[in-house]
Amino acid sequence: MPNFHVIIPAAGVGNRMANVLPKQYIALAGKPLVAHVINTFFNHPVITSIHLALSPDDQFWRTLTLNPDSKLRLHYSGGATRSETVLNTLNAIQAADDDWILVHDAARPGLTAEALTRLLNTLLNDTVGGLLALPVADTLKLAQGENRIQNTVPRQGLWRAQTPQMFRYATLHQALTQFSGTPTDESEAVEALGLQPKLVEGELRNLKVTYPQDLALLETLFAADKAKGEA
């Protein structure tokens, strides 16, 4: 039975949020974004270990002492790009070639246990791996200069990639090592090996916090969840 290891790249800055804190430490419902992410994986019974990939300059976790038996491990393995951070962390952890690696954005705090379980169950016996994603529902426009529409892009078959993205250790390591350039996500690197990752339907709330309005939306969703729990 393979193990399931999570890598959370958390070495970025997130300039588009216009905040003095790195994005992963911005508060949501009283806790940093990354704390919500860690808790979702920590509370899932299938997850073997959680690896938080930090910038070497990160000071937020320096005073934290982890229980040796904790699922959470800290790695100051941040690189110049997300893919470099993930590869550095793969090199730092102990995993078998056929173990599953789940890479999840530190700024996606809305991941639910239900969506995570759906991903795990769907891909458990898959030969390639895959990722959570949502079918594109909006009409898409391709812009040219001055934001003028060049043409309308057919949306049939288009999906918006989310995370976690889940691949075997050996596959992901090979993909990131061999990729020419910088992949936008782990799936693109795996695709470059000639493989076809599987799309597993995610949830709208599993959005990536990129702009202030994203945070405001999640605050509303989390407040609604809390009200349901107290009802």
Contacts 24+ apart (CB under 8 A), 182-187: 182/81, 182/83, 183/83, 185/82, 185/131, 185/161, 186/83, 186/86, 186/103, 186/131, 187/130, 187/131, 187/161
Residue 144 forms part of a structural domain? no
Mean pLDDT in the chain? 93
Residue 155 forms part of a structural domain? no
Is 18 a residue whose pLDDT tops 60? no
Distance CA 160, CA 101 (A): 21
Range of the domain at 62: 4-133+160-230
In this prediction the pTM is: 0.93
Q: What is the pLDDT of residue 61?
A: 85
17 band by pLDDT with thresholds 50, 70 and 90: very low
Place of tokens 């910088």: 182
Residue 99: give its domain's CATH number.
3.90.550.10
Per-residue model confidence as pLDDT tens digits over 41-51:
999 999 999 99
Residue 150 forms part of a structural domain? no
